[in-house]
């Protein structure tokens, strides 16, 4: 009895409550659903999922049902929707604990589920507002997940729909739509902001302003959170770094049915002459065979978001074989494991110099790669989905399995600064672990290569004493003295007993790009400077719209790493057409969009104009941009920096306002000076009255304005205003020349009386 009575009372309370005012605009409802649909599709495109196949139809069905039932209470449906939302929340927390590596997609999935349920209950404009917000959040999440420009068209579509939605929502708030409906006024008249012509103008203006702000807005590289992008956990079972699983597998070397003697072209690519795999870079593996010929077909392999550009280092080789390289201590790995509650590996990497900078990089694998993990030099922390990783003695990171398409991981590296002064001061007192492995050179070529190296160094205009300057000079000399073949396929294969470096220096006087790096490495070893061959990917092409570096397989190449006592390893690039040093932390993409735009514009300008503008950029504009970067870093340096920056910003704003006022005053005085005396005096009078709040309407004649002032001003002021106005009208329209000196005296006396308060 009590339960039935309670239910009766509850039901009566629900039914006695007034029905909320509903939103009757079909157009607004359709456009709001369009926003939601675009948001759902954007998440699918960015995250490469298929949620829109069920979410979009259900959301549209719910919106249609809600339209027809908008004036009903729908109590049972509201109850079911509440239960569904609780279930969605439970699933959200379940997914949250299993995917702590990246919660953005989990949040997007929850919002889509809630929106689908919410679409069945949209009677009021406020309910449509919730859908607008969900659509906006979905676009924001999709923007953070997206790594390609496929997101850009969806953003434009979202903006094109959002403009009329905002107009209709504003009209609904003010009741304009109901007034237009009662008066039977056309919704899309030419004067309406919803007209196609007006909407197109608004869209072009907003997109133009947005692109302008986007181009000028600085892009400060960095992550503000310590939870970094990483793929979901990969369970390997018993596949760990055991005796049978410690090597490197390059898909470009291993192909079914290609195991052979290695003596013929197209046989085993790890030794002897052969053809390059046209998909995978040949330099990743336990050994590298540089007696292969061919070219790579370009394809994207990585997308990288990094705080600084750099050489995405993959691995290094210490033993020269005469026609390639190999890792002499292949199985000496330092293993690392992560705890169950974290994706972070603390890596046992080799020594790094003191003056370094932490650089965070997030990598997404686009195409299959070997089980070596690309990273900037000296990685310290790794966020990776496997239970174990390993580090070899050359500082390369290895995964228990190959890097598959879609894999995402993050690395924090301690990248050293290239301080030329410190590097020039290093000694040749190398540790035994360095001199034992990185000075080795085949004895049959040692003397001849050393002699050639010393001959090149002797051509320097001034004596070279430091190891750093020797490495620098030799790298630059190889760029200038030796050349790449015009047709890479014309380079002959090496004979069975022929040495690569010897053939490069004395027979062909050039070779493939990687042959330059091999020759420089061996030449440095011949004069007692430790060096090794390092392979990896060049920085790639920076996409300013996504903030990612797009790295292709053709960006892979080899360089020379040179060891300097107490400073560590530093790379030199002897390949013609390349910079002498790889890009590093000294470079920034803060104004990458503006730089790209300028490069495009500069390509169309004549050389003199281009040079002049370049000097202007490097002078005034570059200084201003550096000032903006410095100010932002000050604000980001802590509470003291924040308060200092705010005080500085207020002071600069005040000085800017003061300067603006002075400039306006100067322009006004200059304008007055160009007027006839009577016009000058009359405009000064209008200026004084306007400052007191008595602005002259454009439709008023001078005499009408004077009569109006006579009713609002004291008699003395009204008399002066009328006298100046009468004289102005007679001069302007009757050609009468007034006594300007007398009028000026009257005006000055009036001004003094106003200041004294009389």
For residue 512, the domain's CATH number is 3.10.620.30
Non-local (6+) Cβ contacts of 448 within 8 A are: 502, 506
Tell me whether residue 132 is in a domain.
Answer: yes
Final residue before a domain boundary, out of 532, 566, 586: 586
In terms of C-beta density within 10 A (0-12 exposed, 13-18 middle, 19 or more buried), how is residue 120 classed? Answer: buried
Last residue of a domain, one of 132, 162, 185: 185
Q: Which of 464, 482, 485, 484 is nearest to 473 (CA)?
A: 464
- Shared domain for 36 and 178, answered yes or no, is yes
CA-CA-CA-CA torsion sign (679, 682, 684, 689): negative
Of 102-111, 255-264, 424-433, 660-669, where does mean pLDDT reach its minimum? 255-264
Instruction: Determine the Cα–Cα distance for residues 85 and 80; give it in Å rounded to an integer.
Output: 9
Residue 733 gets which letter from DSSP? H
Structure tokens at 27: 């157009």
- Is residue 73 situated within a structural domain? yes
User: How many Cα atoms within 13 Å fall on the side-chain side of residue 523?
Assistant: 30
pLDDT on residue 173: 76
Read off the tokens for 651: 């002071």
pLDDT at 186 exceeding the cut of 60? no
Half-sphere exposure of 426 (CA within 13 A, CB side): 26
Read off the tokens for 683: 């405009």
Degrees to nearest 5, angle at CA 401 with 395 and 404: 105
pLDDT at 258: 43
Collapsing DSSP to helix, strand or coil, 494 comes out as coil
Confidence of residue 355 (pLDDT cuts 50, 70, 90): confident
467 contacts: CB under 8 Å, gap ≥ 6: 426, 428, 529, 562, 564
pLDDT recorded at residue 241: 57
361 near 304, Cβ under 8 Å?
A: yes
User: pLDDT value at position 100?
Assistant: 59
At 742, list the tokens. 């007398």
Confirm whether 30 is domain-assigned. yes
What's the token pair of residue 511?
């070779």
**What pLDDT, in 10s, does the model give residues 496-549?**
889 999 999 998 888 899 999 999 999 999 999 999 999 999 999 988 778 889
What confidence score (pLDDT) does residue 442 get?
93
With cut-offs at 50, 70 and 90, classify the pLDDT of residue 266: very low
Is the per-residue pLDDT at 14 higher than 50?
no
Q: Quick one: 598 exposed, middle or buried, by C-beta within 10 A (0-12, 13-18, 19+)? A: middle
Q: What confidence tens digit (pLDDT) does each residue in 558-610 have?
A: 999 999 988 889 999 999 989 998 888 765 555 555 666 666 666 666 777 66
Q: Which long-range contacts (CB under 8 A, 24 or more apart) does 63-67 make?
A: 63/29, 63/33, 63/119, 63/122, 65/120, 66/119, 66/120, 66/121, 66/122, 66/123, 67/26, 67/29, 67/122
Look at residues 276, 296, 312, 317 and name the one whose alpha carbon lies nearest to residue 518.
317
CB 188 within 8 A of CB 140: no
- Dihedral of the CA atoms 131, 134, 140, 143 (nearest 10)? -80
CA dihedral 474, 480, 481, 482 (to 10 degrees): 100
Residue 42 lies inside a defined structural domain of this protein: yes
Assign 265 a pLDDT band (cuts: 50, 70, 90). Answer: very low
pLDDT band at 129 (very low <50, low <70, confident <90, very high): confident
The vertex-400 CA angle with 396 and 405, nearest 5°, equals: 90
* Residues ≥6 apart with Cβ < 8 Å to 600: none
In this prediction the pTM is: 0.67
- Phi, psi (5° rounding) for residue 531? -150, 160
Top pLDDT among 357 and 194 is at 357
Q: Report the pLDDT value the prediction gives residue 268, as an integer from 0 to 100.
A: 46
Q: Which residues of 615-630 are buried (b: 16+ CB within 10 A; e: fewer)?
A: eeeeeeeeeebeeeee
End-to-end CA distance of the chain: 87
Dist CA 525 CA 521 (whole Å): 6
Residue ranges making up the domain that contains 144: 2-185
Based on the fold, state whether residues 12 and 152 are members of the same structural domain.
Answer: yes
Distance CA 655, CA 287 (A): 65
For residue 224, what pLDDT is reported?
A: 43
Among 371, 246, 381, CA closest to 314: 371
User: Do 37 and 169 lie in a common domain?
Assistant: yes
Q: What percent of the chain has pLDDT over 90?
A: 20
Residue appearing with tokens 């008699």: 715
Q: Residues with Cβ < 8 Å from 320, sequence gap 6 or more?
A: 440, 441, 442, 501, 518, 521, 522, 525, 533
Is the pLDDT at 110 greater than 60? The verdict is: yes
When the pLDDT of each residue in the chain is averaged and rounded to a whole number, the result is 81
Pairing of strands 397-398, 408-416: unpaired
Q: Strands of 95-194 (E only): list them.
A: none
Task: Look at the block and give the residue holding tokens 């301080």.
Answer: 419
In-domain check, residue 71: yes
User: What would the mean pLDDT of 652-659 be, rounded to a whole number?
Assistant: 86
> What are the distances in angstroms from CA 579 to CA 113, 479, 583, 623?
51, 10, 8, 25
Q: Which residues contact 584 (CB under 8 A, 6 or more apart)?
A: 308, 309, 310, 311, 415, 418
Q: Per-residue confidence at 648, pLDDT binned at 50, 70, 90?
A: confident
Instruction: Note the pLDDT tens digit of each residue in 208-253.
Output: 887 777 766 655 554 444 556 676 666 655 555 554 555 676 766 6
Do 704 and 581 have their domain in common? no
Listed in sequence order, the DSSP H helices in 413-572 are 420-424, 432-438, 443-458, 467-481, 500-502, 513-526
The rounded distance, in Å, linking the Cα atoms of 337 and 344 is 9
In the block, which residue shows the tokens 């192909």? 255
| C-alpha count within 13 angstroms, C-beta hemisphere, residue 134 | 26
**According to the model, what pLDDT value does residue 756 have?**
73
Choose between 5 and 581: higher pLDDT.
581
Eight-class DSSP state of 604: T
Number of domains in the chain: 3
Q: Which of 156, 185, 214 is the last residue in one of the domains?
A: 185
Q: With 90 as the cut, is the pLDDT of residue 304 above it?
A: yes
Asked whether the predicted pLDDT for residue 636 surpasses 80, the reply is no
> Could you say which DSSP state residue 69 is in?
T
On whether both 19 and 129 belong to a single domain, the answer is yes
Give the span between the Cα atoms of 290 and 11, in whole angstroms.
Answer: 84
Residue 305, pLDDT > 70, answer yes
Residues 341, 366: Cα–Cα separation, whole Å: 27
Same domain, 581 and 714: no
Q: What is the pLDDT of residues 71-86, one digit of tens each?
A: 888 888 888 888 888 8
In a domain, 62, yes or no: yes
Same domain, 685 and 580: no
3-state secondary structure of 555: helix
**Angle value at C-alpha 654, between 652 and 657, nearest 5 degrees:** 110
Tell whether 24 and 152 lie within a shared domain: yes
CB 124 within 8 A of CB 136: no
**Does 157 lie in the same domain as 8?**
yes
Residue 121 lies in a domain: yes
Q: Which residue has the higher pLDDT, 459 or 149?
A: 459
Q: Left, alpha or beta for 48 (phi > 0: left; psi -120 to 50: alpha)?
A: left
Q: Kindly state whether residues 572 and 696 are assigned to the same domain.
A: no
Mean pLDDT of 186-210: 73
**Residue 507 and residue 747: Cα distance in Å, rounded?**
97
Would you say residue 690 has pLDDT above 80?
yes
127 and 254 Cβ atoms separated by less than 8 Å: no
Average pLDDT over residues 700-724: 86
Let me know: does 320 contact 522? Beta carbons within 8 Å: yes
Q: CA-based angle 33:34:35, to the nearest 5?
A: 90
Task: Determine, yes or no, domain membership for 421.
Answer: no
Q: How far is CA 739 from the centre of its chain?
A: 69
What pLDDT sits at residue 439? 93
């Amino acid at each position: 009895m009590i339960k039935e009575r309670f239910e009766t009372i509850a039901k009566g309370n629900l039914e006695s409550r007034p029905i909320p005012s509903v939103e009757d605009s079909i157009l607004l409802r359709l456009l709001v659903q369009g926003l939601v649909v675009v948001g759902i599709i954007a998440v699918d495109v960015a995250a490469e999922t298929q949620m829109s196949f069920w979410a979009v139809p259900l959301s549209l069905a719910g919106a249609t049902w809600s339209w027809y039932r908008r004036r009903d209470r729908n109590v049972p449906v509201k109850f079911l929707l509440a239960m569904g939302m609780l279930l969605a929340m439970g699933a959200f927390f379940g997914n949250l604990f299993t995917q702590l590596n990246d919660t953005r997609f989990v949040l997007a999935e929850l919002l889509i589920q809630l929106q689908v349920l919410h679409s069945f209950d949209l009677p009021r404009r406020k309910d449509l507002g919730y859908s607008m917000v969900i659509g906006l959040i979905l676009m924001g999440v999709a923007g953070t997940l997206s790594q390609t420009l496929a997101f850009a068209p969806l953003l434009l579509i979202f903006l094109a729909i959002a403009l009329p939605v905002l107009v209709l929502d504003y009209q609904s708030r003010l009741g304009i739509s109901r007034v237009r409906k009662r008066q039977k006024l056309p919704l899309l008249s030419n004067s309406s902001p919803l007209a196609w012509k007006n909407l197109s103008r608004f869209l072009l203006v907003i997109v133009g302003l947005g692109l302008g702000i986007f181009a000028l807005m600085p892009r400060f590289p960095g992550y503000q959170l310590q939870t970094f992008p990483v793929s979901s956990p990969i369970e390997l079972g018993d596949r760990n770094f055991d005796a049978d699983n410690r090597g490197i597998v390059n898909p470009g070397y291993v192909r079914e049915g290609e195991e052979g003697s290695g003596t013929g072209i197209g046989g085993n690519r790890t030794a002897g002459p052969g053809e390059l795999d046209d998909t995978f870079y040949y330099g990743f593996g336990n050994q590298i065979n540089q007696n292969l010929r061919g070219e790579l077909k370009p394809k994207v392999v990585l997308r990288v978001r990094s705080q600084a550009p750099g050489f995405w280092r993959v691995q290094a080789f210490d033993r020269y074989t005469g026609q390639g390289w190999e890792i002499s201590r292949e199985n000496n790995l330092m293993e690392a494991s992560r705890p169950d509650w974290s994706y972070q590996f603390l890596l046992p990497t080799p020594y790094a110099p003191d003056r370094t900078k932490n650089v965070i990089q997030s990598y997404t694998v686009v195409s299959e790669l070997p089980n070596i993990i690309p990273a900037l030099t000296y990685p310290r922390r790794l966020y990776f989905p496997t239970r174990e990783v390993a580090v070899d003695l050359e500082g390369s990171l290895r995964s228990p399995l190959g890097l598959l398409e879609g894999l995402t991981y993050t690395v924090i590296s301690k990248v050293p600064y290239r301080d030329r002064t410190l590097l020039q001061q290093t000694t040749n007192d190398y540790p035994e672990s360095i001199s034992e492995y990185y000075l080795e050179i085949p004895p049959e070529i040692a003397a001849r290569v050393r002699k050639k190296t010393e001959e090149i160094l002797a051509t320097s205009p001034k004596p070279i004493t430091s190891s750093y300057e020797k490495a620098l000079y030799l790298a630059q000399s190889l760029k200038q003295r030796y050349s790449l073949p015009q047709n890479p396929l014309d380079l002959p294969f090496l004979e069975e007993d022929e040495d690569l470096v010897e053939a490069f220096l004395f027979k062909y006087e050039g070779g493939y790009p990687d042959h330059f790096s091999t020759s420089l490495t061996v030449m440095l070893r011949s004069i007692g400077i430790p060096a090794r061959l390092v392979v990896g990917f060049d920085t790639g092409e920076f996409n300013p719209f996504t903030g990612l570096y797009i790295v292709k397989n053709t960006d892979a190449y080899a360089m020379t790493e040179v060891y300097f006592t107490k400073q560590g390893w530093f790379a030199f690039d002897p390949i013609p057409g390349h910079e002498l040093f790889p890009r590093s932390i000294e470079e920034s993409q803060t104004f990458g969009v503006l730089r790209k735009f300028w490069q495009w514009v500069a390509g169309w300008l004549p050389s003199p104009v281009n040079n002049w503008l370049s000097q202007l950029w490097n002078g005034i504009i570059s200084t201003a941009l550096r000032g903006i970067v410095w100010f932002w870093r000050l604000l980001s340096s802590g509470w003291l920096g924040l308060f200092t920056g705010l005080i500085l910003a207020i002071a600069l704003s005040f000085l800017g306002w003061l300067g603006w006022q002075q400039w306006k005053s100067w322009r006004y005085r200059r304008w007055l000076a160009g007027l006839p005396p009577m016009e000058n005096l009359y405009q000064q009078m209008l200026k004084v009255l306007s400052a007191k709040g008595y602005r002259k309407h454009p439709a008023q004649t001078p005499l009408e304005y004077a009569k109006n002032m006579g009713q609002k001003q004291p008699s003395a002021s009204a008399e002066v205003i009328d006298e100046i106005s009468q004289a102005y009208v007679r001069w302007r329209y009757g050609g009468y020349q007034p006594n300007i000196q007398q009028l000026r005296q009257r005006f000055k006396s009036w001004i003094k009386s106003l200041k004294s308060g009389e």
